[in-house]
Chains A and B, each alone.
Chain A
Amino acid sequence: MLELDRVSKVYKVGTFGGKELHAVNEVSFEVKDGEVVSLIGESGSGKTTIGKMILRLIPITSGSIRFNGTDISTLKGEALKEYYRKVQGVFQDPFSSYNPIFKADRIFKIIKDEFFPQVSGTEWKDKVERSLRDVGLNPGDVLNKFPHQLSGGQLQRFLIARALLLDIEFLVADEIISMLDASTRIDVLNLLADLKARGLSILFITHDLSLGYYISERAVILYRGCVAEMGATDKIYENPLHPYTQMLMASVPRLDRKWEEVEVELKTKPAELTRGCVYYERCPQADERCRRERPTLVEVEDGHSVACFRT
Chain B
Amino acid sequence: MSLQVENLTVYYQTIRGHVRALESATFTIADGEIMGLAGESGCGKTTLGHSLIRLVPPMKFIEGRVLLDNEELPVWDTERMNEFRFKRISIIPQYAMNALNPTRKIGKMVSELLESRGVSSKAVLPELKRRLGLVRLSHDVLDMYPIELSGGMKQRMVMVLSTLLNPSLLIADEITSALDVSTQKAVAEMLVGFRDREIVNSIIVITHDISILYQIADSIMVMYAGQMAEKASTEVIIHTPRHPYTKLLISSLPKVGVKYAEKRLTGIPGSPPLLLNPPVGCRFRERCPVAFEKCLEVPPFIEIEKGHFVACWKEFEENARA
Is A91 at the interface (CB under 8 A from chain B)?
no
A258 and B136 form a contact (CB under 8 A)? no
- Segment at the interface with B among A56-64, A156-164, A207-215: A207-215
Alpha-carbon gap, A187 to B261, bound state (A): 14
A259 in contact with B185 (CB, 8 Å): yes
Number of A-B contacts (CB under 8 A): 124
Taken together as a complex, chains A and B put the C-alpha atoms of A215 and B258 apart, in Å, by: 9
Chain A interface residue bracket vs B: 35 or more
Residue A153 is within 8 A (CB to CB) of chain B in the complex: yes
The CA-CA distance from A213 to B263 in the complex, in Å, is 12
Q: Is A101 part of the contact surface with B, judged by Cβ < 8 Å?
A: no
Known: A253-B212, A253-B214, A255-B214. A186 touches B267 (CB 8 A): yes
Complex CA gap A11/B208 in Å reads 35
For B256, the chain A residues whose CB sits under 8 A away are: 209-210, 213, 237, 249, 252, 254, 256
Q: Which of A67-75, A122-130, A263-271, A302-310 contacts B (4 or more CB under 8 A)?
A: A263-271
Per the bound structure, the CA–CA distance linking A185 and B256 in Å amounts to 16
**Given contacts A182-B40, A253-B214, A255-B214, are A264 and B271 in contact (CB under 8 A)?**
no
Interface residue SS majority, chain A: helix
- Minimum CB–CB distance from A252 to chain B (whole Å) comes to 5
Which residues of B, 255-271, contact A by the 8 Å Cβ criterion? 255-261, 264-268, 271
Q: Does B140 contact A (CB under 8 A)?
A: no
Q: How far is the CB of A165 from chain B (nearest CB, A)?
A: 24
Contact with A along B200-212 (1 / 0, CB 8 A): 0000000011111
**Interface pair B259/A213, CB less than 8 Å apart:** yes
Q: Is B254 an interface residue (CB 8 A)?
A: yes
Does A42 lie at the interface of the complex (its beta carbon under 8 Å from any beta carbon of B)?
A: yes
Q: How far is the CB of B166 from chain A (nearest CB, A)?
A: 24
Inter-chain CA distance A254–B41, complex, in Å, is 21
Residues of B within 8 A of A251 (CB): 181-182, 184-185
For A269, list chain B residues within 8 Å (CB).
Answer: 150
Which partner residue on chain B sits nearest A244 by CB separation? B182
Chain B proximity of A221: nearest CB distance (Å): 12
Contacts of B141 in A (CB 8 A): none
The answer to the question of A296 belonging to the interface, with a C-beta cut-off of 8 Å to chain B, is: no
CB of B41 within 8 A of CB of A209, answer no
Decide: B182 and A264 in contact? CB cutoff 8 A. Answer: yes
Chain B residues, Cβ within 8 Å of A285: none
Residue on A nearest B209 in the bound complex, by CB: A253
- Per-residue CB proximity of A170-212 to B under 8 Å, as 1/0? 0000000000011111110110010000000000000101110
B253 contacts partner chain A, Cβ-Cβ < 8 Å: yes
Instruction: Tell yes or no: B67 within 8 A of A by CB.
Output: no
Contacts of B214 in A (CB 8 A): 253-255, 258
| Chain B neighbourhood of A255, CB < 8 A | 210-211, 214, 238, 250, 253, 255
* 17 more A-B residue pairs beyond the given contacts A183-B248, A210-B258, with a C-beta to C-beta distance below 8 A: A181-B41, A186-B266, A190-B264, A190-B267, A193-B260, A193-B264, A210-B255, A213-B256, A213-B257, A213-B258, A213-B259, A253-B214, A255-B255, A258-B215, A264-B185, A266-B186, A267-B180
